Amino acid sequence: MAKAAVAMKIEYFHASKYGNGAKVAGEFKKQMAAQGATVNVHHIRDARPREMPPADLYLFSSPGRMGKPIGGMRRFLKKAKLPSGTKYAILTTEAAPQPDKKTGRMPTEEELAKWQRVIPVMNEILQEKGLVKVAEGKILVTGLKGPLEEGWQKKVEAFASQIPILS
């Protein structure tokens, strides 16, 4: 008798303020469902970091604020109770780079890396707990409250394809 394949279970925690992160979460859920994975989406305000549901992968999504993940997400990650070796992924919504108001010059990758520290800060918190990263990505937001960048669904699809599906 053949053993039935077990669907991968992903718990997705986001801290969307203007709905951009929630849109991205919905698109990710749709993409992963097409691959046979189950994704449960939670806003961090409705979740208990010390009582995380069991999953094969935890995905954390935060908007950037002043170049860092928002405070609520940093606190959530610090309180999250997950065993060492747990797999995680990060998908952020960050402000699109803007040209310098005086010169019109776009910032370089190095300049952006210095200011946009959302992913590095989240990785640092999670890796201190012994968690193992499987993927990371970012979707750009063109204004303070949105909208998401052109072609954002394709970026979510590319991110989803980095997630190893259990068989």
Which domain CATH number covers 75? 3.40.50.360
89: in domain: yes
- Report pLDDT for 166: 62
Q: Is residue 167 included in any domain, yes or no?
A: no
Domain membership of residue 97 (yes or no) is yes
Model pLDDT, residue 5: 58
| The pLDDT value given to residue 136 | 96
Residue 166 lies in a domain: no
Q: Which amino acid is at 158?
A: A
What is the Cα–Cα distance from 125 to 78, expressed in whole angstroms? 6
Q: Name residues whose C-beta falls within 8 Å of residue 116's C-beta, 6 or more positions apart in sequence.
A: 64, 67, 94
Q: Give per-residue pLDDT as tens, 8-38.
A: 999 999 999 899 999 999 999 999 999 999 9
Q: Which residues of the chain have pLDDT under 70?
A: 1-6, 166-167
Counting the structural domains of the chain, the total is: 1
Quick check: is 46 in a domain? yes
Residue span of the structural domain in which 89 resides? 9-161
Count other C-beta atoms under 10 Å from residue 111's C-beta: 13
In a domain, 65, yes or no: yes
Residue 145 confidence (pLDDT):
86
